[in-house]
Amino acid sequence: MSLFSKQNKEAFINPLNLDNPILVQVLGICSALAVTSQLKPAIVMGLAVTIITAFSNVIIASIRKTIPMRIRIIVQLVVVAALVTIVSQILKAVAYDVSVQLSVYVGLIITNCILMGRLEAFAMMNKPWPSFLDGVGNGLGYALILVIVGAFRELLGRGSLLGFQLIPQSVYDAGYMNNGMMTMPAMALILVGCVIWVHRAYFYKEK
Amino acid sequence: MSLRKYLDNIKPTFEKGGKLHAFRSVFDGLETFLYVPNTTSVSGTNIHDAIDSKRIMSFVVIALLPALLFGMYNIGYQNFAAAGKLAEASFWNMFMFGFLAVLPKLIVSYVVGLGIEFAWAQWKGEEIQEGYLVSGIIIPMIVPVSCPLWMLALACAFSVVFVKEIFGGTGMNIFNVAVAARMFLFFSYSSAMTGDRVWVATNSIFGLGNTLPDTFTAATPLGQLATGSMPDTSLADMIIGFIPGSIGETSVIAIAIGAVILLWTGIASWKTMGSVFAGGIVMAVLFHALGMTPIQWYEHIVLGGFCFGAVFMATDPVTSARTETGKYYYGFFIGALAVIVRVMNPGFPEGMMLAIFFGNMIAPLIDYCVVQCNISRRAKRVTNEK
């Protein structure tokens, strides 16, 4: 099988759009609501999940034939936990402030349903390379929605993007105010709902 | 009947293929608003009341008018009182000032809300359900007078789209649209919705009224209570309504007139309304006896949005409990919760909005329990007889 066969491409492309973990499968919602109040933690979280999904997929896929079926979940958990610990330590070392903002949600990647879902549904029955593509695709599909929601929430809730003030002071002087509800998870749920709405209306066709 | 004839004359332009087909929903809405449609269902047996939802809503709007008119007068009164010029101001001076302060809010609320509803109906090819007639007048009445118009527009748009239309339109919403609009404003722009700077109009309009200094503050009685001081208004002022507060909520007397209209026409349920008051009174008496609130139970009832919420918002037939027994529980829950929030949460001087929202949320559960109780009771009766 060639490196970028049609199947492999689909494993990578589908999770970005038609099989998006958040928009279509509605998985991983809790972390998506919790970390998106600003853009920067949303990006970091998206990348962390992408890396962990990709490499845990590769590792599980390469040892899939030696894993006894009855204890596969615990084996998967050990692999994911190891990767999460590595990522979390790296984050603390190089981006301490973001890791403080993300707080428990980096550690909670272990229980992220997208991860476990991909390991169970894809990595356990596919070769490492397609599994890697699938992991990257799903991670990026998750990250994409996090970035969209995070951008809206930071722009409307704080008037900034990535910490840079985008809405000028003159607008505030004219009576504009930041929307406090945007910084609450409740509004994140509504925003995710809106993204799903747009996605359903323009991209996703019911089979 | 010239209006009827005129409507019949211009009707074809709005039919399919007509010139103004794009505005069919607008025409339809207006026509059914002005005249009760005489179309009947073609299948099955249906019992049809003489009064339809548009007529019900007109009655609610009429019932709201006393509170709205008094609210306008009170805005002027508060402004002149704050400037210390109460003696020189005539009644019309104060009323006109309040009228000019409220009118833009009413217009914005109706234009935005009805605009979205009309557009939505046109887009979906449905009939217009003028559920917004009532919400559109309630929303401006439950915000502070200094609420900026763009915020109001945003809140109306948000609540019409996310609280009503996505649930299926009028009659399908689980939350009261007006409460949701206020919730949105409260949590989004809390500095413009609470505090002691928002309740009195501080700018003169077209030369009417007085411009107050920037440092002017006036807290609502409940706001004073939340900061630990006693309200300094007399009970008579609280009942008549000469206190700072949201536009339509201050006067108990004006609301009582509305309540009489609603109860007399049978639009609002006396069970819901009465049990809201019962719940509030029981809770307030209890808290006062425990020493947790310094004011008497009757002050809890007449202050803030308690009366307004009990009469006009808790009784909303769409979002309240539908079973007759359930209405008692639903109302009692709202009244009790409103006072609990006021007394026990220092972050919220007023709890009626949250109480109604939670009441809306558990109303289907109450109905379910009441229906299930009824079923099991009847089932027992059957088995006992055997």
Q: What is the structure's pLDDT at A1?
A: 55
* Structural domain harbouring B179: 55-374
| B361 CB within 8 Å of a chain A CB | no
Task: Confirm whether B5 is domain-assigned.
Answer: no
Distance separating alpha carbons of residues A23 and A17, to the nearest angstrom:
8
Q: What is the pTM of this model?
A: 0.86
> How many Å lie between the alpha carbon of A6 and the closest alpha carbon of chain B?
39
Residue B303's φ and ψ, nearest 5 degrees, are: -85, 160
Residues of chain A found within 8 Å of residue B190, distances taken between Cβ atoms: 180
Cβ-defined contact of A182 to B150 (cutoff 8 Å) = no
Half-sphere exposure in the Cβ direction for A160 (13 Å, CA): 11
Residues near B366 by beta carbon (within 8 Å), at least 6 away in sequence? B321, B323, B326, B329, B330, B333
Distance separating alpha carbons of residues A28 and B381, to the nearest angstrom:
49
Q: What is the structure's pLDDT at B1?
A: 60
Cβ-defined contact of A184 to B187 (cutoff 8 Å) = yes
Residues of chain A found within 8 Å of residue B188, distances taken between Cβ atoms: 179-182
Tell me the pLDDT tens digit for each residue of A74-120.
999 999 999 999 999 999 998 888 888 887 888 888 888 888 888 88
Cβ-defined contact of B187 to A182 (cutoff 8 Å) = no
Give me the interface pTM, i.e. the ipTM.
Answer: 0.83
Collapsing DSSP states into helix, strand and coil, what is residue A25? coil
Encoding tokens for residue A36? 């998106």
| B161 CB within 8 Å of a chain A CB | no
Instruction: Give the nearest partner residue to A180 out of B148, B150, B190, using CB atoms.
Output: B190
Task: Confirm whether B29 is domain-assigned.
Answer: no
Query: B218: closest CA among B233, B228, B207, B204?
Result: B233
Check residues A4 and A115 and name the one with the higher pLDDT: A115
Query: B243: closest CA among B273, B223, B216?
Result: B223
Please report the DSSP string for A164-201 in residue order: EE-S-HHHHHTT----GGGGSHHHHHHHHHHHHHHHHH
Cβ-defined contact of A182 to B190 (cutoff 8 Å) = no
Domain total in chain B: 1
| B184 CB within 8 Å of a chain A CB | yes
Cβ-defined contact of B151 to A181 (cutoff 8 Å) = no
Cβ-defined contact of B192 to A177 (cutoff 8 Å) = yes
| B347 CB within 8 Å of a chain A CB | no
Residues of chain A found within 8 Å of residue B189, distances taken between Cβ atoms: 177, 179-180
| B368 CB within 8 Å of a chain A CB | no
Distance separating alpha carbons of residues B251 and B70, to the nearest angstrom:
7
> How many Å lie between the alpha carbon of A157 and the closest alpha carbon of chain B?
9
> How many Å lie between the alpha carbon of B350 and the closest alpha carbon of chain A?
19
Task: Confirm whether B193 is domain-assigned.
Answer: yes
Q: In chain B, which among 319-338 make CB contacts under 8 A with chain A?
A: none
Task: Confirm whether B365 is domain-assigned.
Answer: yes
Cβ-defined contact of B184 to A181 (cutoff 8 Å) = yes
Q: What is the structure's pLDDT at B328?
A: 94
Tell me the pLDDT tens digit for each residue of A63-75.
988 988 899 889 9
Instruction: Give the nearest partner residue to A190 out of B151, B162, B190, using CB atoms.
Output: B162
Residues of chain A found within 8 Å of residue B193, distances taken between Cβ atoms: none
Residues of chain B found within 8 Å of residue A184, distances taken between Cβ atoms: 187
Residues of chain A found within 8 Å of residue B150, distances taken between Cβ atoms: 175-176
Residues of A with CB under 8 A from a CB of B: 175-177, 179-182, 184, 186, 190
Residues near B222 by beta carbon (within 8 Å), at least 6 away in sequence? B231, B303, B304, B342, B349, B350
Cβ atoms of B174 and B361 within 8 Å: the answer is: yes
Q: What is the structure's pLDDT at B299?
A: 86
Residues of chain B below pLDDT 70: 1, 17-18, 22, 24-25, 38-40, 48, 50, 130, 386
> How many Å lie between the alpha carbon of B161 and the closest alpha carbon of chain A?
11
Tell me the pLDDT tens digit for each residue of A151-160.
999 998 888 8
Check residues A39 and B201 and name the one with the higher pLDDT: A39
Task: Confirm whether B48 is domain-assigned.
Answer: no
Residues of chain B found within 8 Å of residue A180, distances taken between Cβ atoms: 187-190
Cβ-defined contact of B187 to A181 (cutoff 8 Å) = yes
Q: What is the structure's pLDDT at B138?
A: 92
CB pairs under 8 A between A and B: 20
> How many Å lie between the alpha carbon of B39 and the closest alpha carbon of chain A?
34
Check residues A149 and B292 and name the one with the higher pLDDT: A149
Residues near B304 by beta carbon (within 8 Å), at least 6 away in sequence? B220, B221, B222, B245, B249, B342, B349, B350, B352
Query: A120: closest CA among A7, A30, A112, A104?
Result: A112
| B150 CB within 8 Å of a chain A CB | yes
Instruction: Give the nearest partner residue to B187 out of A175, A177, A180, using CB atoms.
Output: A180
Distance separating alpha carbons of residues B87 and B128, to the nearest angstrom:
49
Task: Confirm whether B18 is domain-assigned.
Answer: no
Q: What is the structure's pLDDT at A164?
A: 84
Tell me the pLDDT tens digit for each residue of A154-177.
998 888 888 888 888 888 888 888
Give the nearest chain A residue to B149 (CA atoms). Answer: A175
Residues of chain A found within 8 Å of residue B151, distances taken between Cβ atoms: 177
Q: What is the 3-state secondary structure (H, E, C) of chain B?
A: CHHHHHHHHHHHHHCCCCCCHHHHHHHHHHHHHHCCCCCCCCCCCCCCCCCCHHHHHHHHHHHHHHHHHHHHHHHHHHHHHHHCCCCCCCHHHHHHHHHHHHHHHHHHHHHHHHHHHHHHHHHHCCCCCCCHHHHHHHHHHCCCCCCCHHHHHHHHHHHHHHHHHHHCCCCCCCCCHHHHHHHHHHHHCHHHHCCCCCCCCCCCECCECCCCCCCCCCCCHHHHHHCCCCCCCCHHHHHHCCCCCCCCCCCHHHHHHHHHHHHHCCCCCHHHHHHHHHHHHHHHHHHHHCCCCCCCHHHHHHCCCHHHHHHHHCCCCCCCCCCHHHHHHHHHHHHHHHHHHHHHCCCCCCCHHHHHHHHHHHHHHHHHHHHHHHHHHHHHHHHHHC
| B162 CB within 8 Å of a chain A CB | yes
> How many Å lie between the alpha carbon of B267 and the closest alpha carbon of chain A?
33
Query: B61: closest CA among B229, B261, B219?
Result: B261
Q: What is the structure's pLDDT at B359?
A: 93
Give the nearest chain B residue to A185 (CA atoms). Answer: B187
Tell me the pLDDT tens digit for each residue of A116-137.
888 888 888 888 898 999 999 9
Cβ-defined contact of B188 to A182 (cutoff 8 Å) = yes
> How many Å lie between the alpha carbon of B344 and the closest alpha carbon of chain A?
23
Encoding tokens for residue B283? 């809770």
| B263 CB within 8 Å of a chain A CB | no
| B190 CB within 8 Å of a chain A CB | yes
Task: Confirm whether B315 is domain-assigned.
Answer: yes
Residues of chain A found within 8 Å of residue B162, distances taken between Cβ atoms: 190
Task: Confirm whether B39 is domain-assigned.
Answer: no
